[in-house]
């Protein structure tokens, strides 16, 4: 099963040195433009941005949200797909200092009841932004004010639930006694898209927004639902116990009523999903069958007519897992819709995403691996029926999904170094995934130290606890992170072969397993994008979200490019990609101080690379992203559009 040789493509830019300034740096021969920074008005209901603009719920609802993360383009015009599309953009969380800068910061940030309108504004700064963008005649990109496609989804927007969990007792609340609807999507981190033209947005660190002080269940502990006070104290805006405002009380999941439809004990169980949005109509739904956890993102696998449609997802927490969803329905190329098609995209989504099987990855030390099914009838490592081992009724698929991580423990999944983004080579079907770092990885042979007080969690497995090194996670106290890769014999296969594509490190590290140099040293890979080019070749773009001092001392977070070479490994020999294979791993861009670089795609004709700058410290000061801020500005997460001065294709 030799794959085609893929190293003929050459990166035709000079790698750049590290940078630590209040500016975006990019390789020579390229420009970088700031587009749709936080607070950009989407329509006339919001005023133009200004440094001293005081935000209200109304203004934020009609402006670009905060903390840009995953994103994807949806063409409006097939003939000009490269330069005119709806940009779907995640707004992961907020910088309260920047949001409330004119007022001197948020009110009652850490103690006491927060004002309702401040909380509403913060709720409206989260979620997803849809905005029509296009390349203007002058070569610069612009957004279309008042476009019918401009929309916001926030932590208050209603979403239907679908798939096995929808309508079950697990998700019945005071707001939705039928368990079919919830309010809000939260902490939308990375993303995906479907071949039928919808956006996938993924709920990651949502557990921190919910409080549950009593009546906690095993999934509350496992996923990290808060006690006391939520991340921004949104639940405190509900008023006192006698006059609970339902709009905010739902963030407090502590049982107060006689049953689940009298309170919000189940509200957290309506989060943790892959959310599908039709960017053309605004319709949306949470697809529960793809598992419930801290979803980083969701990446469609290779499409083959007559074979299942698959999606890869990862749970970004220490020693959590990688998952694959395999549809029951097989791929019908007629479902690959053109821009402007009037077909019901969410009906197609239901066909491929509501019925299928969720699997979790087990990596073997010899470079093989298998996908373990998370179904009630699956047999656990210790020979029990999975539903029984989880304490569920015999055929309770919804219960298995609600307890995805515990189910994965019981099946013997391999604990990973924080799975972040995936990327799929659409020709070979090979999947790449970043494992960003893990300080809870110990040397082999060291007994895992359980730190979670929940004894049931300890009994079930290692999630959130320490785990010893294993094949794809070979370094204890891993600060560099790595990119792994796997290949499957067919789209719906339950086996795979894996290798480690590259290990992050400082060039000076003893543990510099991939032989990185000053010009390509990096750590904590996070964003990832396989940029498919002609003849089955491609560029793998790697973005970082790093806190490893040995690298942060040298550079801010960055964008690197590499043309993946085939790495053949002898059976039983796990090869870490070495220096010779990394000759083309090059630093392409570096973000401003304080930021992480995330969100990435190239436009259809490959003349523009879009990335996002999240949580910058003191940037941007102008639309030219490369201008160093002089003095101090109110920082704004932004999309950056990188183009070649000569108008050519990015990277080559
Ligand atoms: Fe929101 Fe795992 O990054
Ligand atoms: Ca991330
Ligand atoms: Ca990260
Ligand atoms: Ca982030």
| Nearest ligand atom owner, CA of 188 | 1
Q: Is 204 in the pocket of ligand 1 (CB under 6 A)?
A: yes
| Nearest ligand atom owner, CA of 296 | 1
Q: Report CA-CA distances (Å) from 490 to 128, 303, 362, 450, 497.
A: 34, 11, 17, 38, 12
CB 612 within 8 A of CB 43: no
Q: What does the pLDDT read at residue 5? A: 52
Least confident of 5-14, 157-166, 424-433: 5-14
* Arch. (CATH architecture) of 25-34+56-112+121-148+159-210+268-437+457-471+482-644: 6 Propeller (2.120)
Cα angle, residue 233 at apex, residues 232 and 237 outer, rounded to 5° = 130
Q: Is 320 in the pocket of ligand 1 (CB under 6 A)?
A: no
- Residue that wins the pLDDT comparison between 579 and 136: 136
Q: What does the pLDDT read at residue 184? A: 98
CB 315 within 8 A of CB 297: no
Q: What does the pLDDT read at residue 577? A: 54
Give the 3-state secondary structure of residue 525: strand
Atom of ligand 1 nearest to the CA of 294: 2
Q: What does the pLDDT read at residue 566? A: 56
Atom of ligand 1 nearest to the CA of 189: 1
Q: What does the pLDDT read at residue 452? A: 42
The three-state (H, E, C) secondary structure of 293-341, written as one string: CCEEEEEECCCCCCCEEEEEEEECCEEECEEEEEEEEECCHHHCCCCCC
Q: Is the pLDDT of residue 220 over 70?
A: yes
Q: What does the pLDDT read at residue 440? A: 87
CB 178 within 8 A of CB 152: no
Q: Is 543 in the pocket of ligand 1 (CB under 6 A)?
A: no
- Residue that wins the pLDDT comparison between 450 and 535: 535
Q: Is 22 in the pocket of ligand 1 (CB under 6 A)?
A: no
Q: Is 420 in the pocket of ligand 1 (CB under 6 A)?
A: yes
What is the C-alpha separation between 39 and 145, in angstroms, rounded?
Answer: 13
Q: What does the pLDDT read at residue 7? A: 56
CB 376 within 8 A of CB 403: no
Task: Give the tokens for residue 274.
Answer: 């892959």
| Nearest ligand atom owner, CA of 294 | 1
Atom of ligand 1 nearest to the CA of 420: 2
pLDDT band with cut points at 50, 70 and 90 for residue 243: low
- Per-residue burial over 608-629, b if 16 or more Cβ lie within 10 Å, else e, is bbbbbbbbbbbbbbeeebbbeb
Q: Is 316 in the pocket of ligand 1 (CB under 6 A)?
A: yes
Q: Is 296 in the pocket of ligand 1 (CB under 6 A)?
A: yes
Cα dihedral sign, 200-204-209-213: positive
Q: Is 203 in the pocket of ligand 1 (CB under 6 A)?
A: no
> What's the CA-to-centroid distance between 557 and ligand 1, angstroms?
14
| Nearest ligand atom owner, CA of 525 | 3
Q: What does the pLDDT read at residue 536? A: 82
Q: Of the candidates 536, 634, 638, 562, which has an alpha carbon nearest to the alpha carbon of residue 597? A: 638
Q: What does the pLDDT read at residue 582? A: 61
Task: Give the tokens for residue 582.
Answer: 């990394």
What is the C-alpha separation between 104 and 111, in angstroms, rounded?
Answer: 16
Q: What is the rounded average pLDDT of the residues 522-528?
A: 98
Query: Could you list which residues have their CB under 5 Å from ion ligand 3?
Result: 526, 545
What is the C-alpha separation between 68 and 125, in angstroms, rounded?
Answer: 10
What is the C-alpha separation between 316 and 206, in angstroms, rounded?
Answer: 12
Return all residues near 136 (Cβ < 8 A) that are at least 6 apart. 142
CB 530 within 8 A of CB 302: no
> What's the CA-to-centroid distance between 644 and ligand 1, angstroms?
29
Residue carrying structure tokens 């993102």: 297
What is the C-alpha separation between 249 and 252, in angstroms, rounded?
Answer: 5
Task: Give the tokens for residue 597.
Answer: 């670089």
What is the C-alpha separation between 546 and 558, in angstroms, rounded?
Answer: 9
| Nearest ligand atom owner, CA of 204 | 1
Q: Of the candidates 475, 639, 505, 484, which has an alpha carbon nearest to the alpha carbon of residue 579? A: 505
Q: Of the candidates 399, 148, 172, which has an alpha carbon nearest to the alpha carbon of residue 292? A: 399
Task: Give the tokens for residue 362.
Answer: 């087990």
Q: What does the pLDDT read at residue 506? A: 97
The model's pTM: 0.96
Q: Report CA-CA distances (Å) from 374 to 30, 52, 346, 356, 498.
A: 47, 51, 25, 11, 21
Q: Is the pLDDT of residue 305 over 80?
A: yes
Q: Of the candidates 554, 535, 527, which has an alpha carbon nearest to the alpha carbon of residue 609? A: 527
Collect contacts of 73-79 with beta carbons under 8 A, ≥24 apart.
73/601, 73/603, 73/604, 73/610, 74/193, 74/197, 74/199, 74/279, 74/280, 74/339, 75/339, 75/604, 76/132, 76/149, 76/339, 76/340, 77/339, 77/340, 78/338, 78/339, 78/340
Chain-wide mean pLDDT for the chain? 93
pLDDT band with cut points at 50, 70 and 90 for residue 617: very high
Give the 3-state secondary structure of residue 404: helix
DSSP state of 76: S
Atom of ligand 1 nearest to the CA of 187: 1
Q: What does the pLDDT read at residue 10? A: 87
Q: Whose CA is nearest to atom 1 of ligand 1?
A: 189
Q: What does the pLDDT read at residue 451? A: 45
Q: What does the pLDDT read at residue 4? A: 47
Q: What does the pLDDT read at residue 531? A: 97
> What's the CA-to-centroid distance between 69 and ligand 4, angstroms?
7
Q: Is 92 in the pocket of ligand 1 (CB under 6 A)?
A: yes
Task: Give the tokens for residue 448.
Answer: 């895992």
List pLDDT tens digits, range 428-479.
899 999 999 998 888 887 655 544 433 333 333 444 578 889 999 999 999 9
Q: What does the pLDDT read at residue 417? A: 97
């Amino acid at each position: 099963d030799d794959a085609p040789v893929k190293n003929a493509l050459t990166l035709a830019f000079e790698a750049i040195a590290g940078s630590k300034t209040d500016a975006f740096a990019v390789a020579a021969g390229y420009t970088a433009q700031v587009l749709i920074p936080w607070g950009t008005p989407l329509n006339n209901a919001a005023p133009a941005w200004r440094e001293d603009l005081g935000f209200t719920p109304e203004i934020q609802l009609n402006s670009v949200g905060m903390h840009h993360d995953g994103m994807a383009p949806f063409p409006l015009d097939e003939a000009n797909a490269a330069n005119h599309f709806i940009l779907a953009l995640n707004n992961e969380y907020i910088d309260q200092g920047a949001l409330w800068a004119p007022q001197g910061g948020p009110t009652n940030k850490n103690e006491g009841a927060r004002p309702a309108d401040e909380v509403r504004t913060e709720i409206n700064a989260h979620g997803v932004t849809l905005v029509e963008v296009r390349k203007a005649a002058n070569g610069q990109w612009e957004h279309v004010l008042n476009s019918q496609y401009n929309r916001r989804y926030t932590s208050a927007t209603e979403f239907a639930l679908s798939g096995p969990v929808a309508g079950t007792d697990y998700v019945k609340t005071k707001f939705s006694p039928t368990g079919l609807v919830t309010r809000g999507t939260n902490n939308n981190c990375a993303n995906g898209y479907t071949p039928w033209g919808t956006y996938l947005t993924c709920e990651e660190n949502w557990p921190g927004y919910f409080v549950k002080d009593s009546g906690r269940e095993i999934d509350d502990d496992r996923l990290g639902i808060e006690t006391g006070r939520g991340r921004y104290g949104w639940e405190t805006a509900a008023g006192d116990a006698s006059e609970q405002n339902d709009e905010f009380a739902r963030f407090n999941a502590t049982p107060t009523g006689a049953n689940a439809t009298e309170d919000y004990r189940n509200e957290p169980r309506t989060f943790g999903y892959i959310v599908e949005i039709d960017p053309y109509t605004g319709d949306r739904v949470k697809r529960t069958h793809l598992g419930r956890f801290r979803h980083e993102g969701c990446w469609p696998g290779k499409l083959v007519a007559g074979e299942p449609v698959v999606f890869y997802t990862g749970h970004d927490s220490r020693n959590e897992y990688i998952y694959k969803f395999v549809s029951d329905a097989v791929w019908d190329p007629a479902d690959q819709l053109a821009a402007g098609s009037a077909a019901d995209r969410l009906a197609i989504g239901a066909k491929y995403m509501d019925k299928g099987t969720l699997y979790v990855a087990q990596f073997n030390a010899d470079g093989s691996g298998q996908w373990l099914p998370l179904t009630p009838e699956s047999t656990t490592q210790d020979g029990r029926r999975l539903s029984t081992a989880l304490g569920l009724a015999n055929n309770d698929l919804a219960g298995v999904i609600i307890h995805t991580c515990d189910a994965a423990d019981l099946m013997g999944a391999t604990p990973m170094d924080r799975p972040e983004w995936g990327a799929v080579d659409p020709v070979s079907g090979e999947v790449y995934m970043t494992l960003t770092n893990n300080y809870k990885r110990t040397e082999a042979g060291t007994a895992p130290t359980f730190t979670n007080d929940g004894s049931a969690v300890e009994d079930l497995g290692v999630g959130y606890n320490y785990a010893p090194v294993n094949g794809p996670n070979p370094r204890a106290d891993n600060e560099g992170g790595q990119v792994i890769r796997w290949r499957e014999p067919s789209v719906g296969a339950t086996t795979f072969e894996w290798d480690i594509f590259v290990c992050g490190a400082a060039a000076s590290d003893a543990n510099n397993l991939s032989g990185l140099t000053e010009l390509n040293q990096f750590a904590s890979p996070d964003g990832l994008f396989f940029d498919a080019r002609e003849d089955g070749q491609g560029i793998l773009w790697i973005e970082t979200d790093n806190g490893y001092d040995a690298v942060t001392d040298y550079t801010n977070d960055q964008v690197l490019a590499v043309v993946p070479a085939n790495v053949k490994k002898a059976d039983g020999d796990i090869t870490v990609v070495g220096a010779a294979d990394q000759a083309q791993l090059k630093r392409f861009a570096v973000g401003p101080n304080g930021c992480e670089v995330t969100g990435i795609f190239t436009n259809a004709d490959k003349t523009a690379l879009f990335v996002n700058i999240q949580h910058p410290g003191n940037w941007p000061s102008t639309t030219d992203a490369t201008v160093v801020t002089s003095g101090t500005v109110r920082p704004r997460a932004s999309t950056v559009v990188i183009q070649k001065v000569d108008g050519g294709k990015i990277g080559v």
